[in-house]
Structure 1
């Protein structure tokens, strides 16, 4: 079991320690496979979501009454889920991210219609931002939503959309034309069964996840599905990522903790020249580096989460630091774990091999590592000198 002493840090309240205890108990009593085949991923996601609802954890992903999302609870949940299964973490994360704009900026009617069902596992959410030629540069979106009476008509494509093909609805970021660039984008809820919306491609990944390219052809959506004000979609997207980027770091932290746990067991039980591998100084140095990076990542993640929960309007710099450091170092930790496991580390379906595939995408989605460096630099340069 991973080290839980960090829960005594002042970043956490009693409710967070109780949440961690309930997550540990539930995960200890519920089995989730490390590896899921691509052709079974949709079924697995539905089964994982159903189990999560039984455990009572999906409610943590949304804010049905308009209260602030508890970022520390989101991070703790993702950390614990990712330690057991990358796909389990994905299912929870997308319920939160996909409905995040509604939690943060939705009307009471939108919250009532969508978020209660998301919390109950009756609706599956998706966040549709990326396009074939617009990933991290969200201001370059080309999918259009033109006004037509009391409706919008959407035309264009989205791609790299998590939960694509299994979602009940998509929060779509579309160009409504109020101004050039980022100021002309709006956030609109589009139900998955809307005429003209189609899944034109499912995209297989190194670690199986439901991912798709979507096409919008004259998709009519009621004006009441607009989230916030026209032209404020980019702000909505960035505010949502401001909350959830820290949680990506938390998922990476959970994977890194699992890698260290597996490595400690391996090092203590594997015999080399009649002694445990753990007695080798080179192995001890690698374990030291793993433990150090894990604690440093945890400090950055829970600093960002605590700062947001304490009322900071934005934690752009803190969240970028948390995501960048946690995901990059988790990759290093898991790579070291593969090395210390020898041949077992590359056996298909072994926990370490699964972690090696699961971690890679976290350094790309919700802003690649390079984008996080740009954000950190700009935020730092913008600070006034004392």
Structure 2
């Protein structure tokens, strides 16, 4: 197991990121339209070099980046993370031509990327996807649907996972890089609980060729899983950032708000609740860092540790934000309040990139696979 601690340089970097999120990125986020891609915000992330850090950092630094941004501006964190999720398959499996065409644009915040895996009948069971790829003399034609796709329908390109071999399960899936202007590709926005750009895509004989394949034909599921294995701990970091924001607000509120003759913090029920929030947040934070450090070190068992990190951190963030709303009272329910915003934001991470139930399955399978035989 990798031992780790944050050195002073990383600690200072996190503080700098948090300040940048609050003072430079949050004003841009507030000007954006809910449910739409905020291109000025993306451009600012590019100008600040944060999209470069997204691709040039290890898993631990990716987690620190997402946590610090989420603590100060969830919209900036989400915009950055979605660029990574959509473009990382190009980083790991793209050809020199694919990388040269798209990655400089993604890094600069000029091109919007999207990861198109989920379908109406294939969410948690990603290997069951049904978007079909019909062989043609020039390559394939894609027909089917994708849904719950972040940045759709406004992305400039999609990493699309399609079934190229029927009946082969995970072994019959190919990853394609599909520009948004391909004929036959259409989409619509979906109105969600949290104000993220999410949509559905329809493919009607969309043409793709061998030049659009990411990696090898019929080996695209590996591209998807490698991407998710990197980003799952960092989803936990996003959750930790939201939990820390809720905890910060709660400590300040309970120290200043008076009731029953004194500040709320002097009530044991309140102080114990805040202590529980802080303890769970710190435990989640350390679990996320440990999973990321194990990934960077190339240790065995990373999928299980990544699953633990995502599971515990996202469930913890839900608990912490809910407790923060309770301690703030009715003011936290008012539209525009930080906690009202976090309350809507915090629910989705328990579902996307593998629901909590899927994470428990991954953890259990790894435990039983490594069980020593009884004597």
Q: Does TM-score exceed 0.5, indicating one fold?
A: yes
Count of aligned positions = 371
Structure 1 residues 306-315 or 234-243, which shifts more?
306-315
Counterpart of 2:198 in structure 1 is 211
Equivalent residue for 1:293, pick from 271, 274, 280:
280
Equivalent residue for 1:169, pick from 147, 153, 157:
157
Equivalent residue for 2:46, pick from 53, 64, 74:
53
Q: CA–CA distance in 2 between the matches of 1:79 and 1:253?
A: 6
Counterpart of 2:294 in structure 1 is 307
Alignment of 1:19 with 2:13, yes or no, is: yes
Contact 1:308 1:314 in 2 (8 A): no
SS in 1 for 2:130: coil
Counterpart of 1:266 in structure 2 is 253
1:229-268 mapped onto 2 (5 Å cutoff):
229-268=216-255
Contact 2:243 2:320 in 1 (8 A): yes
Contact 2:158 2:180 in 1 (8 A): yes
How far the C-alpha of 1:51 sits from its partner, in A, is: 1.6
Counterpart of 1:145 in structure 2 is 133
1:87-102 mapped onto 2 (5 Å cutoff):
87-102=75-90
Contact 1:330 1:359 in 2 (8 A): yes
* TM superposition score normalised by structure 1: 0.91
Equivalent residue for 1:32, pick from 12, 26, 45:
26
Q: CA–CA distance in 1 between the matches of 2:268 and 2:41?
A: 41
Residue deviations 1:26-53 (CA, integer Å, cap 9, x gap): 224315169869954426x212112211
How far the C-alpha of 1:178 sits from its partner, in A, is: 6.8
Q: CA–CA distance in 1 between the matches of 2:205 and 2:192?
A: 30
Contact 1:34 1:351 in 2 (8 A): no
Counterpart of 2:142 in structure 1 is 154
SS in 2 for 1:186: strand
Q: CA–CA distance in 2 between the matches of 1:35 and 1:272?
A: 35
How far the C-alpha of 1:81 sits from its partner, in A, is: 1.5
Residue deviations 1:330-349 (CA, integer Å, cap 9, x gap): 10001100000011111111
Change (3 A) 1:263 1:310: same
SS in 2 for 1:30: helix
Residue deviations 1:304-334 (CA, integer Å, cap 9, x gap): 1111111237610011000000000110001
Contact 2:42 2:80 in 1 (8 A): yes
Contact 1:239 1:314 in 2 (8 A): no
SS in 2 for 1:251: helix
Alignment of 1:10 with 2:9, yes or no, is: no
Contact 2:25 2:44 in 1 (8 A): no
Unaligned stretches of 5+ residues in structure 2: none
Residue deviations 1:167-223 (CA, integer Å, cap 9, x gap): 110000000007511110011100001111001x31111111111110001111221
Q: CA–CA distance in 2 between the matches of 1:15 and 1:168?
A: 36
Residue deviations 1:42-98 (CA, integer Å, cap 9, x gap): 26x2121122112110112225xxxxx511121111111111222221101100011
Counterpart of 1:62 in structure 2 is 55
Contact 1:78 1:93 in 2 (8 A): yes
* TM superposition score normalised by structure 2: 0.94
RMSD (CA atoms): 2.0
Equivalent residue for 1:223, pick from 199, 203, 210:
210
Unaligned stretches of 5+ residues in structure 1: 1-8, 64-68
Change (3 A) 1:143 1:76: same
Contact 1:253 1:294 in 2 (8 A): yes
Change (3 A) 1:324 1:152: same
Structure 1 residues 304-313 or 17-26, which shifts more?
17-26
Residue deviations 1:271-295 (CA, integer Å, cap 9, x gap): 1122111011001110111011011
